[in-house]
Chains A and B, each alone.
Chain A
Amino acid sequence: MSIILQLSSTQIPKTRRRLHSLLLYQLSTIGAKLWGKEIRRQTSIRPMSVLCLALCLLFWNCAQKTDQASNPPPGTPVRDFPDTPVGNMVNNHVGTLVAVGEDAEAKYQASLQQLRSQIPEVVKVIHEAYLKMDTSRYFRRWALVETLRELHSDSTLPILIQIASSLIPPEKWSDPETSSRDKESHIRVTAVEGIADLAQRGNRSAEQALARFFNHEDLSVRRQAIRGYLSSGQDFRERADYLQKTLPEKDHWLINLDLTNVKRVPHPDIPEDLSAGEAKKRASTPRIKQ
């Protein structure tokens, strides 16, 4: 019992610890009675069952605490780009893309400007890196497509079409609340946004390419293609009429260029005061290594 008590006191937090103190008290009482043969044979089944159940519950909770994490592989960035001036430029850029701080956006925009000064080489480096990249690196792949989109260059069109047209692979994850198909969708939606951007800049091939995605299996891709097409010219009404005739009726609600204003959507009524209290320094707070 003392071993169990020691386990529980060090490894079971808060509410559970309180509940388990009570449980352990009950347990030790029953255990002592059993050990001392104070319980008659005919009545021993019930306390034994309770004891077993309680022990199972206790150890189940303790087992939850025994997870261990170890063997950190070095978290050093993987080298996706050649060790050339342009390769290094792209490598630095994907870093600025996720940066944080007051100057994060300014540095990101400056990096984009730098890339735009050497578009042919940059596009080549990004395309090669994308093709050889492990497909499970969803965010990096998206970051490369986002960079292509931001170049606003006609030379990116074939690559964007290729990426947007690629089939979305079957689901690989098992989390009900997020999926690998979501991440694959993000990549293709961004590619379609890039195509739409070129179409808005007058690239007729890009405008025609958008039509390929009007019936895409993925709603987010379809929506982006439709919006891109609608915004590619001044003749919105004609384009909308064309889409009304072309698209299945279930998708007619997508034929618009409206963006929803987040201020106008229903919001929850957040109570004014649900204070969790202000931060207090606790003895158990982890300390930074000196």
Chain B
Amino acid sequence: MKSRMTLLACLFLVVFAAIVIAATCYYQPGDNNDSGDNFYGGFICSQAYIDQFWDHFDFDRGDWDDGFGYDDPCNVNQPLARTFNALYLLAYSAEDYAKRTSDFSGNALRWGYPYSATMIDELDGRCGSGNKNSGARATTYWGFWVDDRTVLQWPFFYGENVVERAGTIVHEARHASDKSHNGGSGCPRGASCDTDWNYHGANMYQVLYLWWFHVEGTRTTSAMRNYARLEGQRIIDTGFNTNPGYTI
């Protein structure tokens, strides 16, 4: 009898916990022209692209339904289409973009997509803070006892423009290849620091992608390439314990 009571109490607790943890969040698209989503949205709304991204990044229906965009993959107000936009930019911003995920030749602008598709086990959409201005934009989990995955959250979907999102995916892809930050809080931004450039960490990969986008990005404007330069330079200046001293 005691065992049964314990079992029932346990079940009640975990079900209650599950209900409490469940999150509801609300879209915060703001101005979709500003973020670039309206423009990229016109390109990604093609079944061929959707099939490609869905397969390469191992999306799962259970991670993208319930309003995350599975039922409406072209709707740029919803998280899934905004993720596709970033993947489109990641895939097709090099003049001679990689046509196979096994093609790692060329610079970061070219291998950014194949590298990310290969390293990221699966992309999941979550509310996170449910607020585009707070909480982590993305977190990658990996390890022996962990289901390897990269979880994208509200600040990623609604707090970043398409170029920033692409850089974030490359950053997370580096984490997905079992590479943590190693600099503790020793860099100017005080968190997620890499000790130096030669550590070859996520910050370096993100900078390289943005840098090459600035130098050779195509099918975009010089303004967005300037913005990528600012983003890359900022990470150089704040994300390393030892500033590599580069000027983009």
Contact = CB atoms under 8 A, between A and B. Distances in A.
Given A13-B60, A175-B137, A55 B127 contact: no
A258 B3 contact: no
Contact of B43 (A94, A95, A100, A276): A100
A58 B13 CA distance: 13
Interface string A38-56: 0101001000100110011
Interface residues of A, number: 106
B204 interface: yes
Interface stretch (A66-74, A155-163, A207-215): A66-74
Contacts of A278: 100-101
Given A104-B220, A142-B227, A31 B31 contact: no
B4 A275 contact: no
Contacts of B248: 259-260, 262
Nearest to B102: A275
Nearest to B85: A100
Given A60-B21, A72-B27, A140 B34 contact: yes
A285 B114 CA distance: 20
Given A68-B24, A278-B100, A286-B73, A97 B224 contact: yes
A63 B22 contact: yes
Contact of B221 (A98, A177, A267): A98
A275 B79 contact: no
A69 B67 contact: yes
Contacts of A35: 4, 7
A260 B51 contact: no
Interface string B135-160: 11100000000011000000100011
A51 B7 contact: yes
B52 to A, nearest CB: 4
B80 A96 contact: no
A71 B24 CA distance: 10
Contact of A69 (B22, B25, B133, B135): B25
Contact of B238 (A94, A182, A275): A182
A108 interface: yes
B188 A219 contact: yes
A75 B219 contact: no
A139 B38 CA distance: 15
Interface in A170-214: 172-180, 182, 185-186, 189-190
B161 to A, nearest CB: 5
B212 interface: yes
Contacts, number: 329
Contacts of B30: 75, 78, 137
Contacts of A270: 104, 111, 115
Contact of A68 (B4, B25, B46, B101): B25
B3 A39 contact: yes
A272 to B, nearest CB: 6
B3 A44 contact: yes
B242 interface: no
Given A69-B67, A100-B40, A265-B246, A277 B18 contact: no
A68 B67 contact: yes
Interface stretch (A14-22, A117-125, A238-246): A14-22
A10 B11 CA distance: 20
A190 B230 CA distance: 9
B108 A267 contact: yes
21 contacts: A15-B121, A58-B14, A59-B14, A63-B17, A68-B66, A73-B28, A77-B31, A98-B39, A100-B36, A105-B220, A150-B223, A172-B133, A175-B134, A176-B189, A259-B247, A262-B215, A275-B118, A279-B56, A284-B60, A286-B73, A289-B74
Interface of B: 2-4, 6-7, 10-11, 13-15, 17-19, 21-40, 43, 45-47, 50-52, 54-56, 58, 60-64, 66-80, 89, 100-102, 104-105, 107-108, 111, 114-115, 117-119, 121-122, 124-127, 129, 133-137, 147-148, 155, 159-162, 164, 171, 188-192, 197-198, 200, 204-205, 208, 211-212, 215, 219-224, 226-227, 230-231, 233-234, 237-239, 244-248
